[in-house]
Amino acid sequence: MNPVAGKTKTEDRCSQLRCIGCGAIADHADQDFRCRNCRDLFEIIYPGWSGAAGAKASRVDGASLKQMWLKRKSSLLPSDTSGVWRFREMLPGLKPGTDPITLREGNTPLYDLPGCARAAGVNALLAKHQGMNPTASFKDTGMTVAASFARQEGFRWVACASTGNTSASMAAYAARGGLRSLVLIPEGKISWGKLSQSLDYGAVTCQLRTDFDGCVKVLSEVVKRMPVYLLNSVNPYRLEGQKTAAIELLEQLGWETPDHIIVPGGNLGNSSALGKALREMKDLGLSARLPKLSVIQAEGANPFVRSIREHGGKTLTPVEAETFATAIRIGNPASWKKALRVVDATAGTVEQVSEVEIALAKAEIGADGVGCEPASAVTLAGLKKLVKQGFVKAGETIVLILTGHGLKDPEFTLKFHRGDLFQGTKHENDAQLLAPHQLAPIVLDASVDAVLRTLEQFDHPAAER
Ligand code: F0G
């Protein structure tokens, strides 16, 4: 491993790093991406945009940007076919002549979920499916930007701690960009699908005998000692890429702002990123108003919900996280202060949902023919609660952000349908309500009659689901 300068730099003149704690402005971030003065996180700002006058005076003009972004859809250039770099005026710039590392991320569909809308008691429901990215999670939209900056800065190694999706994504982008990658994951606590992705893409994959938060701790020491580029979401370049999902969403909605956007919360990078884009779009006149952005956590991994409910968002006490939605099994979320700002600024809220509520919501999303991984399903489970509380009204425009693909965690789905997901757990009794949604595979002799008898059994009104 060749040492390189242990710093990362914003090369372009349009963006700067600003500490969210003390407001310090920096050209360089140390490898841990924390402010030297106060240890808080950085965000990327674009000084030329500030204020309405600034926006007008800068190169950024709302109407022509929208036109240009649309026009790029007919281009064949990699940076235009990427659903992230297509919006590059909203991103920190790479050095002239530098190609981004791209797998044509973004460009994800917006689906309607009629069955889920009925289940939640709303007139209509939309889902932006970020699981339809190249490595099947929303992480790709951030990784294309941050990995490109890692390569531009001359790093040979990139690294992350992960519950499985960041690592899959990082490993893929590192491989595409000719970089080596180091993955730290909690042993036995991520899905096989995600683990197999990181192996396939050639990452050095370490399963540590700890949880996600323990992996983060170890990695934060590793980056101090070796010239590896940190690709967790404390890296503000990741969040810049991830924010483009909100831009793409508004474009898909004809630049009409929805009333609600509902996001799963783990390390809280994604809610921070989407909220940043929503605020920037409003400041730049690309959108007329802010939607309410609400964050949903699993009951067993709910430090953000507790921070807001118990401490008014003033402090966050880490929890020992436990949930079958392993992607969001996180007790000490790095970006909680950024996410709090978003919830406050958009007048959103937070909610928590039980394991059984998550499993039911995942089945309901699947029954609409869309499918997602368990962590994504917290959005529908949370929406149901927000509707009951009156926070979301039946006639409002609501968008769920589905963060991961259904095939990310097939073990969860199989156990669900076989009826043994909650066997021997404290949720066993509550889980009985899931029975009507379970459809286990049926083992039969290879006989036509056996198949026809099965078909007849199901082709009966009583069996209609
Ligand atoms: N949904 C999925 C599918 C995820 O993988 C994650 C986070 C989240 C939601 C939560 O997003 O952390 O930005 O609040 N996964 C990370 C990982 C932590 O390592 O893959 P967040």
Q: How confident is the model at residue 459 (pLDDT cuts 50, 70, 90)?
A: confident
Contact predicate 328/358, CB 8 Å:
no
Report the alpha-carbon distance of residue 87 to residue 220 in Å, rounded. 31
Of the chain, the percentage scoring pLDDT greater than 90 comes to 92
Contact predicate 112/129, CB 8 Å:
no
pTM score of the predicted model: 0.95
Say what the pLDDT of residue 51 is: 56
Say what the pLDDT of residue 13 is: 52
Contact predicate 253/180, CB 8 Å:
no
384-412 pLDDT per residue, tens: 999 999 999 999 999 999 999 999 999 99
Say what the pLDDT of residue 379 is: 99
Report the alpha-carbon distance of residue 353 to residue 382 in Å, rounded. 6
What's the half-sphere exposure (Cβ side, CA atoms, 13 Å) at 140?
28
Residues near ligand 1 (Cβ within 6 A): 137, 162-166, 233, 264-271, 327-328, 373, 375-376, 403-404
Atom of ligand 1 nearest to the CA of 232: 19
Phi, psi of 341 (to 5 degrees): -60, -40
Could you tell me which of 254, 162, 235 has the C-alpha nearest to residue 201?
162
pLDDT at 12 over 70: no
Q: What's the order of all strands across the beta sheet hosting 260-264?
A: 110-112, 126-129, 398-402, 260-264, 292-298, 350-353
pLDDT at 50 over 80: no
Q: How is 190-259 classified by DSSP, letter by letter?
A: S-HHHHHHHHHTT-EEEEESS-HHHHHHHHHHHHHHS-EEE-STTSHHHHHHHTHHHHHHHHHTTTPPPS
268: CA distance to ligand 1 center in Å?
8
- Return the best residue to mutate from 139, 140, 165, 271 for the ligand 1 pocket (most ligand atoms within 8 A of CB): 165
Say what the pLDDT of residue 49 is: 82
Could you tell me which of 163, 167, 224 has the C-alpha nearest to residue 199?
167
DSSP state letter for 362: H
Contact predicate 80/59, CB 8 Å:
no
27: CA distance to ligand 1 center in Å?
28
138: CA distance to ligand 1 center in Å?
8
147-173 pLDDT per residue, tens: 999 999 999 999 999 999 999 999 999
Sign of the Cα torsion 168, 417, 299, 272 reads positive
Closest residue by CA, ligand 1 atom 4: 327
208-257 pLDDT per residue, tens: 999 999 999 999 999 999 999 999 999 999 999 999 999 999 999 999 99
Q: How confident is the model at residue 2 (pLDDT cuts 50, 70, 90)?
A: very low
Closest residue by CA, ligand 1 atom 12: 267
Reported as type and span, the H/E element at residue 180 is: strand 180-186
Say what the pLDDT of residue 403 is: 98
Q: Which residues contact 464 (CB under 8 A, 6 or more apart)?
A: none
Contact predicate 37/61, CB 8 Å:
no
Report the alpha-carbon distance of residue 413 to residue 12 in Å, rounded. 46
Tell me if residue 296 falls in helix, strand or coil: strand
Of the chain, the percentage scoring pLDDT greater than 70 comes to 94
Q: How is 326-340 classified by DSSP, letter by letter?
A: GGG--SS-TTHHHHH
Tell me if residue 295 falls in helix, strand or coil: strand
Report the alpha-carbon distance of residue 134 to residue 161 in Å, rounded. 20
Q: Which residues contact 131 (CB under 8 A, 6 or more apart)?
A: 108, 137, 138, 372, 373, 376, 402, 403, 404, 405, 406, 408
Closest residue by CA, ligand 1 atom 11: 266
**Geometric angle at alpha carbon 288, from 274 and 91, rounded to 5°:** 40
pLDDT at 265 over 80: yes
Q: How many CB atoms lie within 10 A of CB 117?
A: 19
Mean pLDDT of the chain: 94
- Return the best residue to mutate from 132, 137, 235 for the ligand 1 pocket (most ligand atoms within 8 A of CB): 137
165: CA distance to ligand 1 center in Å?
7
pLDDT at 3 over 50: no
Contact predicate 145/94, CB 8 Å:
no
329-354 pLDDT per residue, tens: 999 999 999 999 999 999 999 999 99
- Both tokens of 400, joined, read 């769920």
326: CA distance to ligand 1 center in Å?
9
Tell me if residue 409 falls in helix, strand or coil: coil
Report the alpha-carbon distance of residue 353 to residue 463 in Å, rounded. 29
Strands (E), 284-340: 292-298
Q: How is 51-100 classified by DSSP, letter by letter?
A: HHHHHHHSS--HHHHHHHHHHGGG--SHHHHSTTGGGGGGSPPPPTTPPP
Say what the pLDDT of residue 58 is: 54
pLDDT at 440 over 90: yes
Average the pLDDT over 16-38 and give the result.
Answer: 95
pLDDT at 11 over 60: no
430: CA distance to ligand 1 center in Å?
26
Closest residue by CA, ligand 1 atom 19: 162
52-110 pLDDT per residue, tens: 545 454 556 899 999 999 999 999 999 999 999 999 999 999 999 999 999 999 999 99
What's the half-sphere exposure (Cβ side, CA atoms, 13 Å) at 417?
13
Q: Which residue has the higher pLDDT, 59 or 41?
A: 41
- Return the best residue to mutate from 163, 191, 268 for the ligand 1 pocket (most ligand atoms within 8 A of CB): 163
Average the pLDDT over 432-437 and give the result.
Answer: 96
